[in-house]
Amino acid sequence: MELEPHTWLILGKFAGAGIALGMGGIGAAIGMGNAAGMANTAIMRQPKVQREMLRTMLIGQAVGEGAAVFALVIGLFIIVVSPANLELIGGNYFAALLGAGLSIGFGTFGSGLGCGWPAGNACAGFARNPARSPKLTQSMIIGQAVAQSPSIFALVVSLILILTAKNGTDLPTMGIYISAGLAMGVSALGSGIGSGKTAGGAVDGIGRWPLSYGVTLRTMLIGQAVCETPAIFGMLVAFIMVIAPGDLNPGILGFAQVFGAAIAVGFGGIGPGIGSGLTAAQGCAATAARPDKDALILRTMLIGQAVSQSTAIYALIIALALLYVVG
């Protein structure tokens, strides 16, 4: 396509910032609404400790809202960014801005949504057992911090895309930038939801059985680490696309190679991320209820998560085959 440099730049700014803020806002908004809803139910049950519940809800919402703030920062950066050689800008720069928007938009969706569950369950735990508040708040913040990590991966990839974009217009390079953003963002979506679900299950269990705090927290961290695998695969593919793309075919074939790889590893990561989270959430709740059987539950949880991750590994294999074998 023959477009003027200025047109490419403005198109990239509109597309990138729009997707960043549009997608990035959805998850945090749903998650924080969920937290506030559960806080209301909890306050209805125990109006005496409403002040503590409100404080915990606000802390939890502030951490969860961080995901949307990342999207806002990248969106504003995309709008104000001004490259050095304005007259050399082409389709590649447009693709880099669009890819950055895809990365941060989809990447913060999952974390924002996921952070709602621990915040809401912490408030529900207060209603059950007001005396244990510090441990609940503590486990909520630890769980949310881990659930935020996919959105931090997405932030890193979108900054790399904006800052290293090349000049000119060629289809394979445009494909690399769009695909790197898509691979990172969409794969982070599942991991964020899964890690958040895990933290929610752990906080719920600690609220019901406060004495098994330590062992539940350990199971939560192991479960969340497995949930992060698809996001790490996505980040790996995004990095190798930008740094060492291999011998891509010229023209539309090269574009198809990288775009296909991004769809495989990105969307392929959603299911395993959410599925591992569903497993780990129940594993944490079960560990809290039966801390004496923690090793047995942890073993079953890890086997289940490993099987659930297998499809993410198939997706990674297909993505790597598209990038390096099909050439």
Partner 1 sequence: MMDPTTILTLMNAAVAQAPEAATSAATGIAGADLIKAGALIGAGICMGFGAIGPGIGEGFAAGKACEAIGRSPQEAGLLTRTMLIGQAVSESTGIYSLVIALLMLFVIG
**Of positions 22, 33, 47, 251, contacts partner 1 by CB under 8 A:** 251
Which of the stretches 22-30, 43-51, 131-139, 259-267 binds partner 1 when contact is defined by CB under 8 A? 259-267
Q: Report the alpha-carbon distance of residue 215 to residue 186 in Å, rounded.
A: 32
Q: Report the alpha-carbon distance of residue 264 to residue 35 in Å, rounded.
A: 32
Instruction: State how far the alpha carbon of 262 is from the alpha carbons of 2, 287, 295, 317, 323, in Å.
Output: 26, 37, 37, 12, 10
Site size toward partner 1, by CB under 8 A: 61
DSSP state of 165: P
Residue whose C-alpha is closest to residue 119's, from 98, 94, 144: 144
Phi, psi of 305 (to 5 degrees): -65, -40
Residues from 264 through 303 that contact partner 1 (CB under 8 A): 264-283, 285-287, 289-290, 293, 296-297, 300-301, 303
Which of the stretches 25-33, 91-99, 130-138, 304-312 binds partner 1 when contact is defined by CB under 8 A? 304-312
Asked whether the CA dihedral 188, 191, 197, 198 is positive or negative, the reply is negative
Residues from 193 through 212 that contact partner 1 (CB under 8 A): 194
To partner 1, the closest distance from the beta carbon of 232 in angstroms equals: 15
| Cβ distance to partner 1 smaller for residue 56 or 305 | 305
Q: Which helix (H) or strand (E) holds 88?
A: none
Residues from 175 through 194 that contact partner 1 (CB under 8 A): 190, 194
Taking a C-beta distance cutoff of 8 angstroms, is the pair 213, 122 a contact? no
| Cβ distance to partner 1 smaller for residue 126 or 255 | 255
Residues that bind partner 1 (CB under 8 A): 190, 194, 251-253, 255-257, 259-283, 285-287, 289-290, 293, 296-297, 300-301, 303-305, 307-312, 314-315, 317-319, 321-322, 325-326
